[in-house]
Structure 1
Amino acid sequence: MSDPKLNQLLDEINSLVNQAEDMDELQRLHEVISMQQEASSIQPPTGKWIKSYSEGNIVYGRPRFSRKQAAGLSHRQTGRTDGSLSSALETSVEMTDDFSHINAETFLQELKRSLGEDLDDQETPQASSDWSVRKSLVSGWWEKVRPRLVEKMVAKQHVASPVCQKCYLSPAMIHCCDCRPHPFLCARCDISIHKAQVFHNRDSITDGFFQPLPPTSCYVEKVLTQCVCLVPLEMPGTICSCPQSLSVITGKPISVVTMNGRYDLNLPELKCEVCQATWSAGVDELVHNDYWPATSQISTVYATDILFSFEELKMAAPGMSSQAFLRMLDQRTVRFGRTGKIIADSFRKSFLEWEAVRFEVDKVIREDHFNCPACTPNMLAVSVDGNRKHYRLYQGNRPSLMVSS
């Protein structure tokens, strides 16, 4: 049998023990909160750093156990009925609620600072790590600046005739996009510069507006006339034993295709004024100058840059056809004021022959693009994906496919 007085005494002892434990917990909580308030009073540096573990989890500004204890104490202290003990516990509950509110606000502020969501930085795309927020901010910036860009684009189409930026004597009649930072040229300076730079994209200034101008057109005495442009090639210094009396003459017409489209030019030829000996460029000279023939008659040549670009484009987008690539080049031809089409069949044949020649060259220089260090001479790696597929077939109860794999 149990003695009622003994049971009452044990209950009082247990209540006193619980009271002592609760006061110790409150004391520890008070110390943690005071330390955190001192840390929050220090101004953070300009750069915002996020502390994290090696696994990538964020380290919060205060320990997690303090938050759990604060929440637990606020609910645990409501069942006391003793006079002095209840008054002390009510005071502790009020202190706990105040501390919990302060900690929550501090935690939210620190979290916002760590995520870069300060209200002062809302106008910059770097203010938030949220992708949707950054996207909306960037869209808002473009929407804000779009009217100004429209005005600038319209104003760019109308240009008053400035002074030539090379001789500073005559009014400019040509605008060359490739001669920046001094694109405006007069007729005489245009001929002296672009006689060799035939691949530059030029515009004529007509009534204050830009008009695309092909390389075979130039101004002579303020009149637009046709001229002959030669393919830029390296030419020999001598072709015979006569003294230096060589002259450059116009050779056969030829079409040169670059990344800016098609150019209708002429091959250069050398002629000796004494013995009348001549020299003309052939396949060897064209290949040496980074051109690739399209036909045996050398009526069309491709710059090797366009072949490299088409190869890289096919590696990035294997489904793209050569006709789509050539249509893009035709559009660039028209854009810069030139005419002419690029034949798809000759381009495909020329490209395949160029690839075959490169393959033979790689064999000569012993460069193997298909050598796998992990597979030769002995296999050093296996396909983990194959094992995964085997496991999935086994789990799917498909023995026929599993055996065939």
Structure 2
Amino acid sequence: MSLDSAVRIFDDPREARMHMAALISAAYLQEAREAMAKENPAVPQIKKRKSRKSPLPNPAVKSRREKRQQTQSAAQTRRSHLVHEESLKIEDQALTSFETPLQELKDTLTAVPIPETTNMVSAWAQRQLLTDAKLSAERVITQKCHRCSAVEAVVRCLDCVPLDMEFLCATCDVEAHKRNVFHDREAVFHGFFEPIPPTTAVVMDDNGQPQFCEQLCQLPVSTRAICECSQDLTVIPGKHISVVTINGKYDVCLPQKSCPSCSTEWTPEVKDLLRYRYWPATTSCQTLFKFDVFTTFEHMKMTAPAMSRQAFLKMLEHRSVQAGRTGSICADTFQRSFSEFAFCK
């Protein structure tokens, strides 16, 4: 007797009961899944394992699948329309709520009066007038000498303004700046202000026209008595030296005094120069530094330690050129003199 291959034979009755219970529970689980799929089509069914041989298409199953897809797409379309309509309603409400504050803001801006004088054109016109006034202040005007009030002025000195002698003629300029050699002067007879150094004087030629000429400037020191004679001392220019101040470099001469009676002569020594705040850079006093140069450099180094010595000296040379003076300053001489000054201080 041959048995069917699908029939399973159990030797133990307990194994047969367990196998029957598993088949029954699998059947119940399949029925429950089919019932849930009918109630809620969105829940996907567990796909069965396909056999190796593809089954023939069933027209009824295909039509049900297409109807289900059409129903789902129609539902999604209705939901998207509802969402769009709700967003439009929200936008309309927001616009309606903003209309009232916007209208109030417009009314407020309209009600504020704007003065006609505060416009850009009038402000620009005022700046133009101010610029014209600044430029017209530099116009050269022919004036009489403020010292003698008789001859036409050819030199302007802003350092003499406190003495009410801004404009000077050629003669008064020489007399006023015989001792004030550190004043920055400007010539005014070429149609514009031209800076001139202290070693340049203005003289009048035979035709009454002003011309430039060279002159010697003496270092301003005190005129003290050098002897007991009652006669006046004779002062003549001595050795040519250079003096460096905070305004740059000047070429001057050391004064040399002599007595015509006893033939006593005097020229400033190191102690005399130090008394008037001049620091000799060499033993021969060929170059002098004013104390304000060292103190200014010291203060600038404390404020800006990274500033170089070369940059400071270039600034002094630029000031000299701007005032019509020329000449370079030796950096090594300045450094050595500043170190000596700092040590003695």
TM-based fold match above 0.5: yes
Tell me which amino acid in the other structure corresponds to 1:331: H
2:176 is the alignment partner of 1:193? yes
- 1:313-340 CA-to-partner distances (Å, cap 9, x unmatched) read 1111111011101100100000001111
Shift of 1:355: 0.6
Rounded to whole Å, the distance in 1 between the matches of 2:214 and 2:277 is 27
| Residue identity opposite 2:226 in structure 1 | T
Residues 220-369 of structure 1: matches in 2 within 5 Å? Answer: 220-221=203-204, 222-239=210-227, 241-358=228-345
Report the Cα offset of residue 148 of structure 1: 3.6
CA RMSD in angstroms comes to 3.1
Q: How far is the alpha carbon of 1:166 from its aligned partner?
A: 1.8
Alignment of 1:112-123 (within 5 A): none
Among 148, 161, 173, the residue aligned to 2:142: 161
Question: Please, what TM-score do these two structures have when normalized by structure 1?
Answer: 0.52
| Paired AA for residue 225 in structure 1 | C
Q: Is the 8 A contact 1:161 1:208 kept in 2?
A: no
**Residues 195-222 of structure 1, C-alpha deviations (whole Å, 9 max, x = no match):** 1111111000133211001111112223
Cα deviation for residue 143 of structure 1 reads 7.1
User: Deviation at 1:223?
Assistant: 2.7
Distance 2:297 2:158 in 1: 24
Structure with the greater alpha carbon radius of gyration: 2
Q: Identical aligned pairs, as a percentage?
A: 40
The residue aligned with 1:90 is none
Query: What is the TM-score with the length of structure 2 in the denominator?
Result: 0.60
Partners in 1 of 2:282 and 2:133 — Cα distance? 46
3-state SS, counterpart of residue 179 of structure 1 = helix
Letter in 2 for 1:273: P
SS at match of 1:314: helix
Following superposition of structure 1 onto structure 2, how do residues 51-66 of structure 1 map, counting pairs within 5 Å?
none
C-alpha deviation, 1:144, in angstroms: 6.9
Aligned partners of 2:247 and 2:182: how far apart in 1?
Answer: 8
Contact 1:245-1:274 within 8 A present in 2 as well: no
| CA distance, structure 2, for counterparts of residue 147 and residue 351 of structure 1 | 48
Deviation at 1:277, TM superposition (A): 2.0
Mapped to 1, the partners of 2:273 and 2:124 lie a distance apart of 50
1:205 counterpart = 2:188: yes
Q: Distance in 1 between matches of 2:271 and 2:123?
A: 52
Gaps of 5+ in 1: 1-118, 125-139, 359-405
Structure 2 residue corresponding to 1:219, chosen from 193, 202, 227: 202
Aligned partners of 2:226 and 2:265 also within 8 Å: no
Q: Which residue of 1 aligns with 2:153?
A: 172
SS in 2 for 1:355: helix
Number of residues of Structure 1 aligned to a counterpart in Structure 2: 229
* Larger RCO (CA under 8 A, 6+ residues apart): 2
The aligned counterpart of 1:38 is: none
Unaligned runs of 5+ in 2: 1-112, 205-209
Deviations 1:16-54 (A, max 9, x none): xxxxxxxxxxxxxxxxxxxxxxxxxxxxxxxxxxxxxxx
Q: Matches of 1:200 and 1:178 in 2, distance apart?
A: 6
Cα distance, 1:155 vs structure 2 = 2.6
Contact 1:292 1:302 in 2 (8 A): yes
Seen in structure 2, the aligned counterparts of structure 1 residues 261 and 273 have a Cα distance that, compared at 3 Å, is same
